[in-house]
Amino acid sequence: MKIFNSIAELRLELDSQRQNKLCIGLVPTMGNLHAGHLRLVEEAVQNCDFVVSTIFVNPLQFGPDEDLQAYPRTLKEDQSKLISAGCHCVLEPSVDELFGSNLESQTTLHIPSISNMHCGKRRSGHFDGVATIVCKLFNIVNPSKAFFGLKDYQQFLIIQKLVADLAFEIDLVGIETVREENGLALSSRNSYLSKKESRQAATIFKNLNEVAIKIQQGQRDFQDLEQQAIINITEAGLRSDYFSICHAQTLEPATNLDSDIVILAAAYLRTTRLIDNIRISL
């Protein structure tokens, strides 16, 4: 696996690969890789000829009181995992390499409407940072396919809109959430949790499942279902951020007429913020 710190050098490598008419796949990450990330790489390897991963902790998507400095960085371990997964090369740029020396003057993107809901409502500017770095990586790599996990479901819809609105010729591939045995969605931030806290955090997925079953059985008082789930999550020792039953594409509150639904949840365990979702078709 080739390791690049320079955008220009990566582009030279990719130009060489394209001369052979290879399908380029992209897997963007912030590192501290787990089995969910590696599933993305493995899917990319199966579906593309040449796979590029990126490891970059993006400061634009962190708020002033969030965990940018504490975010786990495990570069050597990540490189070994990428090699085992069959990745062909990885871009590990510095902040200066991607954004120059003045981050405050960086051009940013805003995806209207959908960026302002749910996680976007709670984390002002977060999805602007996500959209900006993803767009930049798309321009650097120019992949045929890009692979993202569906645990970050709102993020996936935002990137989907970005691709459509800016006319990128990229196939987005969403990969289902990989979970721990207790159901907790894998996340780099799970490393902040003790074993006991990991069991506590699994109550998020437990409540998502329970609400999904109730909806499939015909219950349609969505606000009542949301409130009961929030009570359950709170009683398990977490602080609920939101629990929302939504239309699966717009993320607006679901109505009785909707057949494709996503249930989104976010909660804090101490200072660790955890998100998850489950999608159902009626």
Longest dimension (CA), the chain: 58
Residue of 209, 7, 198, 162 whose CA lies nearest to 94: 7
165: left (phi over 0), alpha (psi -120 to 50) or beta: alpha
Q: What DSSP letter does each residue of 149-206 carry, written as one string?
A: ETTSHHHHHHHHHHHHHTT---EEEEEPPPB-TTSPBP-GGGGGS-HHHHHHHTHHHH
Six token digits for residue 276: 């998850």
- List Cβ neighbours of 46 (8 Å cut-off, separation of 6 or more): none
Crossing angle of helices 35-47/75-85, nearest 10°? 40
Q: Specify the DSSP class assigned to residue 252.
A: S
Catalytic pick among 34, 37, 110, 126: 37
| 37 included as an active-site residue | yes
Q: Specify the DSSP class assigned to residue 61.
A: G
Catalytic residues: 37
